[in-house]
Amino acid sequence: MSHDAARSQNPSAHNKEAFRRFHDVVNSGDAEVIDKAIHQYVDADVVFHTPVPTDLPDFEVFRQVWPTLLRAFPDIQVHIQDLIAEGDKVVARNKVTGTHLGEYRGLAPTGRSVTYDEMFVLRFGDSGRIVEIWGAVDVLGQLRQLGALPV
């Protein structure tokens, strides 16, 4: 069965598996490999609904997330807690861990470990690529653990 035929028979399972493959690359810690995967799995016209302080196009914003995180937390790992797929959407609830060894949000490296939660909803288009992303990241928890905010 061809890739397109498999996708049309069970798009939820196909999209879930595509997310898992992308996720595996994210945990490689290699910014160049992650960027190649973004080009493979994310549509160039993606709509990124997560608020970010920039005027860059959404695809470029998404591409900048990983180099920023890897500079700040070189050992960052995203652990899937729940992965749910229905129709053209995949929902991932993750626990993220890392050690603050580089500048992050204006904070000098602290050497502190962080553990925080995030949730993402990804919509896949007919191309099999991610065309929309909604995300909620516990930035408040990050900043508290880094000592930037009171606990």
65-88 pLDDT per residue, tens: 999 999 999 999 999 999 999 999
Query: What b/e readout covers 92-131, taking b as 16+ CB neighbours within 10 angstroms?
Result: bebebebbbeeebeebeeeeeebebebebebbbeeebbbb
- Rounded distance between C-alpha atoms, residue 32 and residue 39, angstroms: 11
Alpha carbon of residue 1 to chain centroid:
30
- Among residues 76, 45, 72, 73, the alpha carbon closest in space to that of 61 is found at 45
**pLDDT, tens only, 13-46:** 999 999 999 999 999 999 999 999 999 999 999 9
**Backbone φ, ψ for residue 41 (5° rounding):** -100, -15
